Amino acid sequence: MMGIFVLILLGLWGWFAVWLGKLLSRTVFARFTTNTATGEATKKASLITLLLIACVLLLPVLDQLIAYPKWQQLCATTGDFEWGPGMDEEKAFGREVVYVSKRVTTKTIFPNIKIDYTGFYIYDAKTQELIFKKPHYRYSAKGFFYLPSSSGNKSAMFLPTCKDYKYMTKSDDLIKRLELKQLEYKGVLK
């Protein structure tokens, strides 16, 4: 049902974009699209009309298209992991750990497109020392046009999930190599 609604909405928006593009071409940009002496359309008229239609079509997602390079830059910086203070492989070996996910801060990369910086932290279960963390970016986009998902999130159409979205990537190997035993987090860390 949602798909049909989206198709109808896109069809209506397409019709509106064509109508508005032609209207703007005939009125606002008339001196570029109409020969003043004869009143006939110039050779540039079709090109200008198509450009205006394309601009109107892209208007709802323009914020996402402009923010896309910055989003890709943020995705590229989702590093593997960082050791905690004074920690290394030897000190971390064989510990019982808890995984904690914390939202650290929110950045705005374009008006209405917010990026939540979330860190995944691995703490020693007994001493509460930080073993290591994995920096990660996750977005919540509230652009002009978004598609709601079944979970209620608002997903930006042109800002796809980072390819390195998995909870831990190369650090999964590190967890196995260090023989870390995960315990259940009970919300008692400092």
The pLDDT of residue 18 is: 93
Clarify whether residues 88 and 152 are in a common domain.
yes
Clarify whether residues 55 and 66 are in a common domain.
no
Q: pLDDT tens, 113-147?
A: 777 777 778 888 888 888 888 776 666 555 555 55
Residue 116 lies in a domain: yes
CA dist 129 and 91 (Å) reads: 11
Residue 105 lies in a domain: yes
The pLDDT of residue 150 is: 44
Clarify whether residues 77 and 145 are in a common domain.
yes
Residue 124 lies in a domain: yes
Number of domains composing the chain: 2
At CA 63, angle to CA 61 and CA 67, rounded to 5?
120
Q: Domain boundary residue among 19, 46, 61?
A: 61
Residue 81 lies in a domain: yes
Clarify whether residues 143 and 50 are in a common domain.
no
The pLDDT of residue 141 is: 55
DSSP single-letter state for residue 41: B
What DSSP line would sit under 124-168, residue for residue?
A: ETTT--EEEEEEEEEEEE--SSEEE-TTS-EEETTSPPPTT-SSS
Contacts of 59 (CB under 8 A, 6+ apart): 144
Residue 95 lies in a domain: yes
Alpha helices (H) in the chain, listed in sequence order: 2-26, 30-33, 45-58, 62-76, 89-92, 170-177
Clarify whether residues 56 and 95 are in a common domain.
no
Clarify whether residues 20 and 76 are in a common domain.
no
Clarify whether residues 52 and 67 are in a common domain.
no
Q: Is the pLDDT of residue 100 over 50?
A: yes
Q: Express as a percent the part of the chain with pLDDT over 70.
A: 73
Q: Is the pLDDT of residue 152 over 60?
A: no
Residue 9 lies in a domain: yes
Lowest mean pLDDT among 50-54, 55-59, 157-161: 157-161
Containing domain of residue 11, as a range?
Answer: 2-61
DSSP single-letter state for residue 84: P
Q: pLDDT tens, 36-55?
A: 777 777 778 888 889 999 98
Clarify whether residues 56 and 74 are in a common domain.
no
Clarify whether residues 177 and 98 are in a common domain.
yes
Clarify whether residues 108 and 166 are in a common domain.
yes
Clarify whether residues 88 and 54 are in a common domain.
no
Clarify whether residues 70 and 138 are in a common domain.
yes
